[in-house]
Amino acid sequence: MGIHVSYEAVKHSDVEVNGVRLHLAEQGEGPLVLLLHGFPESWYSWRHQFAPLAEAGYRVVAPDQRGYARSEQPASVDAYTLLHLVGDVTALIGALGEERAVVVGHDWGAPVAWATAALRPDLVRGVAGLSVPPLPSGPTPLALSRERFGEGFYQIYFQEPGRADAELAADPKSSFRRILGGGLRPDGEPRVWVVPEGMKLLDTVPEPARLPGWLTEADIDAFAADYARHGERAFTGGLNWYRNIDRNNELMAAFAGRRIEAPALYVTGEQDLVNAMVPRDVMAYLLQQVTPRLHRHLRLPDTGHWTQQERPAEVTEALLDFLGSLD
């Protein structure tokens, strides 16, 4: 059985930042905590965290980031650089009438959170990353990924405009069932997502016979309904983030070696595919070098990539402990 989640108290609104309309989900009053989702997700990936954080005295806001779900999707691929995304967070804090925030990100949301903390320390009281650790000079360039993991590496596969877009958008419910429902770790071991030559993306993530206990058909419906608003471009906004990896590497070169001076938290699952891409010793080194005020590095056993959905109680507890340390 999945966990029943009541989110009637979550308020929904829209706000325009940097010329892009973003959808917001919000609950609670108090110090601002921004929750940034990853790919292919939305505000809904934080459904378990809203009520506990709000009840603890925080104002919780989770945007659909630019290009995703209920938010606007700029047409130009180069409108999705990491600096655009940090700019959205920066503008959002101001649009919410706040001066500072704790910024929490999962998957792609984590690089946005880390970069916001690095580039705008005046705005960030604390930063938490789930799944993706802080990288010292921006994302890994595609040439290096191609060399390490081959032409079929999913981030390389995503580069061709329209290809993965069409596959994923053909049946959003099936795409979410496959990607969230366990296809990325079929035997429980972390592994790099690679598409063998001659296969399509979704061939590598078979549809599960049954969903894992943490994911319900209602959850799948919620994600799919929000994405379906964009029709055949349902996943294009999110894929465009990947199409800026090399551009991000160039843009972030000016900040290479910059440390994150805000208090930090890092949470990962032992079976997360990111662990197959970033070895444990490298991850520990990055955390030591980039986040000198690391509050905690939490590794959750029997947990894959969808950290806050798979382990809502443990993630929420870690966030509350971290937030309490800041107060």
Q: Other C-beta atoms within 10 Å of 151: how many?
A: 11
Residues 6+ apart with CB under 8 A from 163: 157, 201
Residue type, 222: A
Query: 152 is written with which tokens?
Result: 């079929």
Domain limits, the chain: 11-326
User: Going residue by residue through the chain (327 aa), what tens digit of pLDDT does each one get?
Assistant: 334 455 679 999 999 999 999 999 999 999 999 999 999 999 999 999 999 999 999 999 999 999 999 999 999 999 999 999 999 999 999 999 999 999 999 999 999 999 999 999 999 999 999 999 998 655 678 999 999 999 999 999 999 999 999 999 999 999 999 999 977 776 777 889 999 999 999 999 999 999 999 999 999 999 999 999 999 999 999 999 999 999 999 999 999 889 999 999 999 999 999 999 988 888 988 999 999 999 999 999 999 999 999 999 999 999 999 999 997
Separation between Cα atoms, residue 278 and residue 229, nearest integer Å: 35
Residues 6+ apart with CB under 8 A from 311: 214, 269, 300, 303
Q: What is the pLDDT of residues 180-216, one digit of tens each?
A: 997 777 677 788 999 999 999 999 999 999 999 999 9
User: Which of 3.40.50.12710, 3.40.50.1820, 3.40.50.300, 3.30.310.50 would CATH assign to domain 11-326?
Assistant: 3.40.50.1820
For 190, what's the count of Cα atoms within 13 Å in the CB-facing half-sphere?
A: 20
Separation between Cα atoms, residue 187 and residue 184, nearest integer Å: 9
Sheet holding 20-27, edge to edge: 11-17, 20-27, 59-63, 32-36, 101-106, 124-130, 264-269, 294-300
**Interhelix angle 217-228/172-180, nearest 10 degrees:** 130
* 78 classed as catalytic: no
Length of the chain: 327
Name the residue among 162, 149, 131 with its Cα closest to residue 304.
131
Q: What is the pLDDT of residues 148-163, one digit of tens each?
A: 999 999 999 999 999 9
Separation between Cα atoms, residue 42 and residue 65, nearest integer Å: 8
Q: What is the pLDDT of residues 70-108, one digit of tens each?
A: 999 999 999 999 999 999 999 999 999 999 999 999 999
Query: 288 is written with which tokens?
Result: 């030591």
Residues 6+ apart with CB under 8 A from 160: none
Query: Which of 23, 84, 230, 305 is labelled catalytic?
Result: 305
Tell me the whole-structure pTM to 2 decimals: 0.96
Confidence at residue 1, expressed as pLDDT on a 0 to 100 scale: 34
Q: Other C-beta atoms within 10 Å of 69: how many?
A: 26
Separation between Cα atoms, residue 222 and residue 240, nearest integer Å: 22
Query: Which of 88, 107, 165, 219 is labelled catalytic?
Result: 107
Q: Other C-beta atoms within 10 Å of 327: how many?
A: 11
Measured in whole angstroms, the distance separating CA 244 from the mean position of its chain's CA atoms is 16
Confidence at residue 190, expressed as pLDDT on a 0 to 100 scale: 85
Backbone angles phi, psi at 278, to 5 degrees: -120, 105
* 305 classed as catalytic: yes
